Amino acid sequence: MMRMDNIIFIGFMGCGKSTIARALSVELDRIFLDSDLLIETKFKQSVNEIFKNKGECFFREQEQKLADFFIFCQNTCIASGGGFINVKNLEKIGSSVYLRADFEYLKKRLNKDEITKRPLFFDEIKAKKLYNERIKIYEDKADVILDIENKSIDELISELKKVFK
């Protein structure tokens, strides 16, 4: 694994991409970037409001703009949104780490408040369908797959440090 490569975390809503990317960035002393946060900061609106006011397409365009920027970054840890894997140049950004877990496990981890923040999780049946459509994409696009179920953040970070030492 190249030392200067960006590490980008991918996976379904609730898998802990932001938590793990942030923790690893501290551990490896890298810059931390979070695609959802960058979009929210730009528009001073939550992801939810952006979906409501401007639509999902607009949000996806913003993700693509970020992907076009991330390819010029080095040595960062990036938390992506669950749908970020559909940008056209993901593999150019760096090494993708898929944080994998079953739908039921992810659902259990997201409390009411966390679900309210996620427009594509409001409807559980639709969320499950989206999960099933995406698992293969996550697996195909991942350079590293990390099974996260019943593991602490510390355990996950030490597994990641073995890969990206």
What residues make contact with ligand S3P under the rule CB under 6 A? Answer: 13, 17, 36, 47, 81-83, 118-120
- Other Cβ atoms closer than 10 A to 48: 14
Q: Is 18 annotated as a binding residue?
A: yes
Task: Round to whole Å and give the CA distance between 134 and 122.
Answer: 17
What is the per-residue DSSP string for 89-152?
THHHHEEEEEEE--HHHHHHHS-HHHHHT-TTTSSHHHHHHHHHHHHHHHHHH-SEEEE-TT--
Q: Is 3 annotated as a binding residue?
A: no
**The pair of three-digit structure tokens given for residue 47, joined into one six-digit string:** 């992801």
CB of residue 60 to ligand S3P, shortest distance in Å: 9
Task: Round to whole Å and give the CA distance between 54 and 47.
Answer: 10
Task: Round to whole Å and give the CA distance between 34 and 37.
Answer: 5
Q: Is 36 annotated as a binding residue?
A: yes
CB closer to ligand S3P, 130 vs 160: 130
Q: Is 123 annotated as a binding residue?
A: no
Task: Round to whole Å and give the CA distance between 7 and 21.
Answer: 8
CB closer to ligand S3P, 29 vs 37: 37
CB of residue 95 to ligand S3P, shortest distance in Å: 18
CB of residue 4 to ligand S3P, shortest distance in Å: 25
CB closer to ligand S3P, 82 vs 94: 82
CB of residue 83 to ligand S3P, shortest distance in Å: 3
CB closer to ligand S3P, 139 vs 158: 139
Q: Is 94 annotated as a binding residue?
A: no
**The pair of three-digit structure tokens given for residue 138, joined into one six-digit string:** 């996550």
CB of residue 5 to ligand S3P, shortest distance in Å: 22
Q: Is 19 annotated as a binding residue?
A: yes
Binding residues for Mg(2+): 18
